[in-house]
A and B are shown apart, each in its own frame.
Chain A
Amino acid sequence: MRDMAAPGDVHSADYLIEARDVVYDFGETPALRGANLSIREGEILAVMGPSGSGKSTLLHCLAAILVPKHGGIYLSGQRVDTLDENERSALRRDTFGFVFQFGQLVPELTAEENVALPLLLAGLRRDDALRRAREWFERLGIDGLERRRSGELSGGQAQRVALARGLVAHPKVLFADEPTGSLDSLTGELVMELVVTAARQDGTTVVLVTHEPRVAAYAGREVIVRDGLVNSLVHDALAP
């Protein structure tokens, strides 16, 4: 990654990823109105908030999918929102992993090809990529499903395949946007259990957007996004 940071743009390297005074709008509709958030390496953070509060927009800005209209995103102290589209794309591919609400697997590919996708995009040979992908099937309890296509998987199975795809390249940060939103309670808990176990074993930082308190309880800390701003829940004046 090319260092695009201007002098003075370098922020605290104590944090792996930071949003500083981030503003984003969709035309006339403001989504983020000066959001600040600092996340330490290895932390599992839940981002909560009501529908339309801006929590998914915040995740997309942190993950270099959206470029803030104002403010900056910093990764290990280096500014990343000012990178060009190709550089941000490389950052997403090499440094970040993603899991979304509906898995979003490629229907034409088998489960193992889906999992191998980030490795193939990073230039790994097909055999190596598939071999590394298969290791995750056992780890996430979905061995035997490697050759199935997404239409032949249950919701919980598909979401575990999506999780394997999100983690296969050992990302620094896993961004998970309502990863259990389409699952029943028990399957949702299984997926969260796998996220936490894998993240703790590999030291992966996780940014988890959820509106479900029982999912947020798997995180080590939670913040709430309200009206485009980030609140830490515990107010200084009231802190125990």
Chain B
Amino acid sequence: MSVPFALLGLLEREPSHGYDLKRDYDSYFGRSKPLPFGQVYATLGRLSRDGKVSPGEIEPGDGPDRKRFAITEAGKQEFETWLREPVEPEPHLQTVLFEKVLLALMLGRSAEQYLDTQRAAHLRRMRELTELKRQDSLIDALLADHGLFHLEADLRWMDMTAARLPSLASMVAT
């Protein structure tokens, strides 16, 4: 899971405190592995150092969580580039794919278009592996098969997700 990009995406939606970011992250992406507070602030610190987010004025009150972070233009650009790029097709990508689909829907981008781009990248890799299988080496064929079956599982997940985009969009909107 790419925590910095997830936080940038959540911040593009609206400026937030660290606590709210952690709550949203955990409810969408961290169901089985909540994000420790320490990691939230460390990531925000790095993003802030790199000019991707800006900490707002310190708000009056008690407790450490008195800064509202906002995404900068540089942060938006980096997030947009990440969202548009298909993930390198290799097995077990579901979590990153899911993150991209959900953030695209949340921010009103075309999740379907992203899924198509990812499908094309997966199929391109599957073509390469299929061509490898046709080279007459049983060992290569068996290794290629392993990749092909996993990529196929990703593609099936993409098909199911595409079919469920309308429900997912209304869930994210509420």
Residue with the highest number of chain B CB atoms closer than 10 Å, among A216, A218, A233: A233
Whether B123 contacts A213 by the Cβ 8 Å rule is yes
Cβ proximity bits A191-217 to B, threshold 8 Å, 1 near / 0 not = 001001000000000000000111011
How many residue pairs at the A-B interface have CB separations less than 8 Å? Answer: 53
Q: Please, how many angstroms separate the alpha-carbon atoms of A234 and B124 in the complex?
A: 11
Interface set, chain B 90-113, CB cutoff 8 A to A: 113
Question: What is the bound-complex CA distance between A162 and B117, given in angstroms?
Answer: 35
Q: Which of B84, B85, B117, B148 contacts A217 (CB 8 A)?
A: B148
One of B27-35, B38-46, B55-63, B126-134 at the interface: B126-134
Say whether A218 contacts B120, CB under 8 Å. Answer: no
Contact, CB under 8 Å: A217 / B119 = no
How far, in whole Å, are A7 and B85 apart by their CA atoms in the complex?
Answer: 45
- Are A233 and B123 interface neighbours, CB within 8 A? yes
CB atoms of B159 and A214 under 8 A apart = no
The answer to whether A233 and B116 touch (CB under 8 A), given A213-B155, A217-B126, is yes
- Mask of A115-132 contacts with B, CB within 8 angstroms, 1/0: 000000000000000000
Any B CB within 8 A of the CB of A50: yes
Cα A19 to Cα B55 with chains together (Å): 55
Interface centre among B130, B155, B159, by most A CB within 10 Å?
A: B130
| A residues near B117, Cβ cutoff 8 Å | 233-235, 238
Q: Which of A214, A216, A231 contacts B116 (CB 8 A)?
A: A231
Chain A contacts to B: CB under 8 angstroms: 50, 189, 193, 196, 212-214, 216-220, 222, 224, 231, 233-235, 237-238, 240
Supplied contacts A193-B134, A234-B117, A238-B113, 10 more A-B pairs, CB within 8 Å: A50-B159, A196-B134, A213-B151, A213-B155, A214-B130, A214-B152, A217-B148, A235-B113, A238-B84, A240-B86
Residues of B with Cβ closer than 8 Å to A?
Answer: 84-86, 113-114, 116-117, 119-120, 122-123, 126-127, 129-130, 133-134, 148-149, 151-152, 155-156, 159, 163
9 tightest Cβ-Cβ pairs between the two chains A and B:
A217-B126, A233-B120, A217-B130, A213-B155, A238-B117, A234-B120, A213-B152, A233-B116, A217-B127
